[in-house]
Structures are given as C-alpha cells and as structure tokens.
Amino acid sequence: MKTILACLLVLAVSMPVSNASCFLQPMKPGTSDGEILGCLDSKGKLHQFGSRWRTDDCLDCSCSRDGIGCCTGYATPVGYDKEKCVKIFSKAACTYKVVEKNDHSKECPVHQWVG
C-alpha cells in the first residue's frame, strides 16, 4: 500500500512540470485464431503487449491492454529570441535546432525547452 501511495505522489508531483504531449488510442486488438496478441496501430501493424517503438512522426508509443499510449519523443524550444531566430525540426533525428533567421549556420541560445 505504501508503494502505491509513493507512486501516486511521484506522479502527482511530476505531472504539472511535464509538458509532453501524450494521448491514448483505445484498444484495437490484433488477433490470431481468436487469441488477442497485442495492439493494432493506425497503419494496421501488430505490436505485442509491453512493446515500445518510435513512429515516423517522432512519437514514443507502447502497447498495453488499454490500448496504445503515445507521447512526443522530442523537446520543443520555447525560450529563445523569436525575432532573431527560428526553430527547425529534423524529422530524421526527432530534434529541434534553433538558428538565426538570416544565417542558418549560426545557432541561437535556447533557455527553455518543453516536452
């Protein structure tokens, strides 16, 4: 009982400081011979219960008996000079880079990230 209360306390404290975007897709069971083997994602791919993967859209997902839970797998820069700089997302690396608008070879300092 103490372990459960400790976990709930950690969750309650960490939720307000977390800015990750997360969602849960209801369970679409993947079956074979009537046996549920895992979750079907939006592309129809089967993922076993307990498995984790990263999507092409940089979401970190996992399969449970409740469905597929996904969260953004990257941090977004918010504390930078928006007049002088621009954020650029690399889908291949699932990361943002903040550079000067007039010279993309010069990186800008970022003071705050969310996600």
Domains of the chain: 18-72 (2.10.70.10), 76-114 (2.20.25.590)
Whether the model pTM is above 0.85: no
Per-residue pLDDT of the chain (115 residues; tens, 9 = 90+): 544 444 333 333 333 344 568 999 999 998 888 889 899 999 999 999 999 999 999 999 999 999 999 999 999 999 999 999 999 999 999 999 999 999 999 999 999 999 8
Pairing state between β 59-64 and 35-40: unpaired
- Distance between CA atoms of residues 115 and 111, nearest Å: 14
Helix (H) / strand (E) element for 65: namely none
